[in-house]
């Protein structure tokens, strides 16, 4: 099977920049991605762009062609919306398009402008990724929904807030050297435990921040990369997508992520690997409990054991399988439309030896990126592998 090469990637800094528009942010990310790739804009066959709340935060729909213009590209452009998995879904469709021979070069990424709405406005906008009729109108927000999932996990498998605190501490530590991260500051377990409660058992430091930012990837077919002698040693070798019922009360389990498990199994099979082959992972840790659920869904931890992974050092930077070396959503930030593509960018740099934290994984050849939408009613998983010498 022909693999898809990551020819270039670009990220803005993630953070609080309410004065910047999404088109401004995406334009910046694409400049870096094209410079990194060496691919001319004229060779782009399609633009796939992820965004969740543009109609609410910027009164802007029909964003595909708008973002193609911002990127300086003249090509058919499509906007993807799958809540926080928007650009992960865009990446998946770009991979399929390139594999099918329908394109040789696709610009794919995403952006989100959130902080201009303020905390209350952004919380309300994010809530529409839940079931409006049965969850939103009852007052459910995502901190509350993930708190229910955390409590369900504790009830079924055990664990406590201190275990989740280690996830937050780990990811803040990883973000210290990432200049694109929103929070480049260390925290301690006591800081997490003493922070204000958001929704029991989750506190302020269990939650990712509101973020503005953008990510862009230049993906090419293998034949294009070879024909143009591109320095693109990292390929997307596996892709998968899964789904689950929208509302929590309709699900069989609150302490599991069937959508992520389905996506992971498909991506592993597509790449011809299993979980034991994975050297590092970027997973969707919008809340600390989300990282735990993702690890178990991806078979990086057994059911009931993910809760101790950070505390016992298995997923720390020097652990057996480092997780969220970028800082994750928790510390790097979560501009929701950009997150899935940004995870691909981080894994690419980590495997290529170009990331500030690559020194922790000098022999890594295989990584996985897990992007989730809402309370994981949708999920994408991508496997990335080194296909040539660094």
Q: Of 94, 120, 112, whose CA–CA distance to 52 is shortest?
A: 112
Residue 195 forms part of a structural domain: no
Q: Determine phi and psi for 218, rounding to 5 degrees.
A: -105, 110
How many percent of the chain have pLDDT more than 70?
A: 99
| Residue 389, pLDDT score | 44
Query: Could you tell me if 371 and 379 are in contact, meaning their C-beta atoms sit under 8 angstroms apart?
Result: yes
Q: What would the pLDDT profile of 195-210 be if each residue is shown by its tens digit? A: 999 999 999 999 999 9
| Residue 388, pLDDT score | 62
Number of domains in the chain: 1
CA distances to 24, 41, 157, 292 from 107, rounded to whole Å, are 16, 9, 43, 32
Residue 179 forms part of a structural domain: no
Residue 159 forms part of a structural domain: no
| Residue 387, pLDDT score | 86
Q: Determine phi and psi for 17, rounding to 5 degrees.
A: -135, 70
Checking if the pLDDT of 390 tops 80, the result is no
Read off the pLDDT of each residue in 119-147 and give the average, rounded to a whole number.
94
Look at strands 105-112 and 213-221 and give their pairing: antiparallel
CA separation for the pair 68, 125 (Å, rounded): 25
How many percent of the chain have pLDDT more than 90?
A: 97
CA distances to 84, 99, 158 from 192, rounded to whole Å, are 24, 45, 19
Residue span of the structural domain in which 326 resides: 4-117+209-384
CA separation for the pair 158, 151 (Å, rounded): 9
Residue 110 forms part of a structural domain: yes
Residue 183 forms part of a structural domain: no
Residue 186 forms part of a structural domain: no
CA separation for the pair 88, 376 (Å, rounded): 13
Active-site positions read: 84, 334
Instruction: Work out the mean pLDDT of the chain and round it to a whole number.
Output: 97
Q: What would the pLDDT profile of 210-233 be if each residue is shown by its tens digit? A: 999 999 999 999 999 999 999 999
Checking if the pLDDT of 374 tops 50, the result is yes
The CATH number that applies at residue 236 is 3.40.47.10
Provide CB contacts within 8 A for 225, sequence distance 6+: 5, 7, 232
CA separation for the pair 166, 100 (Å, rounded): 43
Read off the pLDDT of each residue in 179-197 and give the average, rounded to a whole number.
98
CA separation for the pair 287, 298 (Å, rounded): 17
What does the DSSP assignment read for 111-167? EE--GGGHHHHHHHHHHTTS-TTTTGGGT--HHHHHHHHHHHHHHHH---HHHHHHH
Residue 87 forms part of a structural domain: yes
Checking if the pLDDT of 281 tops 90, the result is yes
Look at strands 234-243 and 4-11 and give their pairing: antiparallel
pLDDT band at 173 (very low <50, low <70, confident <90, very high): very high
Residue 178 forms part of a structural domain: no
């Amino acid at each position: 099977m022909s693999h898809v090469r990551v020819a270039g990637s670009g990220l803005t800094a993630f953070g609080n920049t309410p004065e910047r528009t999404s088109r401004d942010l995406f334009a910046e990310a694409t400049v870096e991605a094209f410079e990194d790739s060496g691919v001319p804009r004229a060779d782009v066959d399609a633009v796939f762009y992820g965004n969740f709340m543009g109609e609410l935060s910027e009164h802007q729909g029909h964003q595909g062609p708008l973002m193609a213009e911002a990127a300086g590209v003249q090509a058919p452009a499509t906007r993807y919306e799958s809540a926080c998995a928007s650009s992960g879904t865009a990446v998946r469709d770009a991979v399929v398009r390139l594999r099918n021979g329908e394109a040789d070069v696709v610009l794919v990424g995403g952006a989100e402008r959130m902080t201009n709405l303020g905390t209350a406005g952004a919380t309300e906008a994010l809530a529409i990724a839940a079931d409006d009729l049965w969850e939103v109108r009852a007052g459910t927000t995502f901190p509350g929904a993930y708190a229910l999932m955390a409590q369900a996990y504790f009830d079924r498998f055990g664990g406590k807030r201190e275990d989740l605190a280690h996830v937050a501490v780990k990811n803040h530590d990883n973000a210290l050297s990432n200049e694109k991260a929103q929070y480049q500051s260390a925290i301690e377990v006591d800081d997490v435990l003493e922070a204000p409660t958001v929704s029991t058992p989750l506190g302020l430091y269990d939650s990712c921040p509101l973020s503005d930012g953008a990510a862009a990837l230049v993906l090419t077919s293998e034949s294009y990369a070879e024909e143009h002698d591109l320095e693109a040693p990292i390929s997307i070798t596996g892709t998968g997508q899964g789904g689950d019922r929208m509302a929590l009360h309709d699900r069989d389990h609150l302490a599991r992520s069937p959508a992520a498990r389905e996506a992971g199994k498909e991506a592993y099979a597509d790449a011809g690997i299993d979980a034991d082959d994975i050297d590092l992972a970027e997973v969707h840790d919008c809340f600390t409990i989300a990282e735990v659920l993702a690890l178990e869904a991806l078979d990086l931890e057994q059911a009931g054991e993910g809760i101790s992974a950070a505390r016992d050092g298995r997923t720390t930077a020097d652990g057996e399988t480092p997780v969220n070396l970028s800082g994750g959503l928790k510390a790097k930030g979560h501009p929701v439309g950009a997150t899935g593509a940004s995870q691909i960018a981080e894994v690419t740099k980590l495997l290529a030896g170009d990331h500030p934290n690559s020194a922790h994984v000098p022999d890594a050849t295989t990584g996985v990126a897990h992007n989730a939408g809402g309370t994981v009613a949708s999920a994408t998983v991508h496997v990335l592998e080194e296909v040539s010498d660094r």
